[in-house]
């Protein structure tokens, strides 16, 4: 029986319809702007052979006849290939970098051919836990563990299929930055030149602090009864692992923002007419509930596990003589951007990258009260940094 003394909780339960068991894109859904590359099997670092790999991707602009204007953009943890443009059929949300990618914008699609893949292990069209395994069932928790290097190896196959032998630029923030750095080493090893590199709010090696923050996120999902050991794809709406995924997102989102921003925006204010002394919420709690619910409706819990654990594996120097040696081997002209208030990828992690790459420009720093999410917000600063870097490099190394 519903407790009449808990009106705030009941009101929250009525706000939105039940959350689907998974927010993954599935075959038969509207593809939107997605294209799909069937890449065959992929041998993973852990020894698995992942069969029938597909990467979903989007392209913007036109590839020059000589292929010299190709740009690769790599998304963050819960991003996808929809980097620019509005929400619409096939795309629950608008582009995550709409102010950066397009005609006349810093990554000018009148000049560049932009390729944006959905990461291997993701849930928006690329092979991942929600995909069908050889036995005809979704992979679920049986999906093999991935490393950042595995994800880039799949993107190398995509580049070859597209006929791209070199990238004018590889750019990415956060998880995308991990892959961008890996591309700068693995790409040339695979015969694909990387002439320019932009790494934003990222690291050459996962830190103990980052791994520590990920630990309760992983546990929140796995301890949700709706996770069902990863086999929840046939569960009715409202009975999947949405609570665990939402809690994971709330933990992560706290690391994406700053204490100062939360204090300024919310302080100790209650949410609307709710009373925190009678089971109501503070406004900051409502804010986190909103972001948790929002992600649970568009993402997949198993993908969140796979991608988070792939970030924990990230070590550019593994089997390469250490991080410093790996950074020193990068030949791409490089722009490294940090966010001054980032508590997940603090400035010193970016400074190490900028100091270690021979052709890196001086470290640039976004001034932002918003923390790690500054790369999604501070376009008035980030845009000119990217535009200036591309113009300088265009003058230094004309095609």
| Residues classed as catalytic | 174, 342, 372
Distances (CA, A) of 61 to 102, 116, 117: 8, 12, 15
Measured CA to CA, the distance from residue 212 to residue 219 in angstroms comes to 11
Measured CA to CA, the distance from residue 76 to residue 177 in angstroms comes to 8
CB 317 within 8 A of CB 205: yes
Which secondary-structure segment (H or E) carries 171? strand 169-173
Alpha helices, H only, the chain: 7-14, 148-161, 175-189, 208-222, 242-256, 259-265, 283-298, 301-313, 323-328, 347-356, 379-396
DSSP labels for 36-87? EEEEEEEE-TTS-EEEEEEEEEEEES---TTSTTEEEE---TT--S--SS--
Question: Do the annotations mark residue 373 as ligand-binding?
Answer: yes
Measured CA to CA, the distance from residue 65 to residue 115 in angstroms comes to 16
Question: Do the annotations mark residue 298 as ligand-binding?
Answer: no
Task: Give the tokens for residue 361.
Answer: 């420009």
Q: In what order do the strands lie in the sheet with 333-339?
A: 35-43, 49-60, 113-117, 70-73, 169-173, 196-200, 333-339, 364-366
CA 115, chain centre distance (Å): 15
CB 311 within 8 A of CB 126: no
Which pairs count as long-range contacts for 34-37, CB under 8 Å and 24+ apart, including other chains?
A: 34/58, 34/81, 34/90, 34/118, 34/124, 34/125, 35/59, 36/125, 37/157, 37/158, 37/161, 37/162
Q: Which residues are annotated as a binding site?
A: 249, 373
Q: Which residues are annotated as a binding site for substrate?
A: 249, 373
């Amino acid at each position: 029986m519903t407790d009449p003394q808990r009106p705030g909780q009941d009101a929250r339960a009525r706000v939105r319809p039940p959350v689907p068991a998974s927010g993954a894109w599935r075959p038969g859904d509207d593809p939107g702007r997605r294209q799909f590359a069937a890449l065959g099997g992929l041998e993973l670092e852990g020894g698995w052979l992942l069969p029938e790999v597909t990467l979903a991707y989007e392209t913007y602009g036109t590839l020059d006849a000589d292929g010299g204007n190709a740009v690769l953009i790599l998304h963050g943890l819960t991003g996808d290939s929809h980097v620019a443009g509005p929400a619409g059929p096939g795309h629950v949300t608008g582009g995550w970098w709409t102010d950066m990618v397009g005609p006349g914008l810093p990554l000018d699609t009148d000049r560049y051919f932009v390729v944006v893949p959905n990461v291997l292990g993701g849930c928006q069209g690329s092979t991942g836990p929600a995909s069908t395994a050889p036995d005809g069932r979704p992979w679920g928790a049986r999906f093999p563990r991935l490393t950042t290097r595995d994800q880039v190896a799949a993107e190398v196959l995509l580049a070859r299929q597209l006929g791209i032998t070199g990238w004018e630029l590889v750019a990415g923030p956060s998880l995308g930055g991990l892959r961008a750095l890996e591309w700068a080493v693995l790409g040339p090893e695979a015969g694909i030149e990387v002439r320019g590199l932009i790494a934003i709010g990222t690291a050459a090696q996962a830190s103990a602090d980052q791994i520590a923050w990920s630990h309760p996120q992983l546990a929140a999902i796995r301890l949700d009864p709706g996770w069902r050991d990863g086999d929840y794809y046939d569960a009715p709406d409202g009975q999947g692992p949405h609570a665990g995924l939402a809690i994971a997102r709330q933990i992560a989102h706290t690391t994406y923002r700053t204490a100062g921003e939360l204090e300024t925006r919310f302080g100790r204010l209650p949410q609307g007419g709710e009373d925190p002394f009678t089971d109501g919420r503070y406004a900051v709690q409502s804010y986190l509930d909103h972001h948790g619910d929002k992600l649970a409706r568009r993402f997949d819990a198993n993908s969140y596990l796979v991608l988070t654990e792939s970030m924990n594996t990230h070590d550019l120097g593994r089997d390469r003589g250490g991080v410093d040696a790996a950074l020193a081997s990068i030949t791409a002209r490089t722009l490294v951007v940090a966010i001054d208030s980032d508590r997940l990828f603090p400035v010193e992690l970016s400074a190490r990258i900028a100091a270690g790459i021979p052709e890196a420009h001086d470290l640039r720093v976004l001034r932002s009260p918003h923390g790690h999410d500054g790369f999604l917000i501070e376009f008035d600063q980030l845009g000119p940094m990217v535009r200036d870097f591309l113009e300088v490099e265009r003058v230094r190394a004309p095609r």
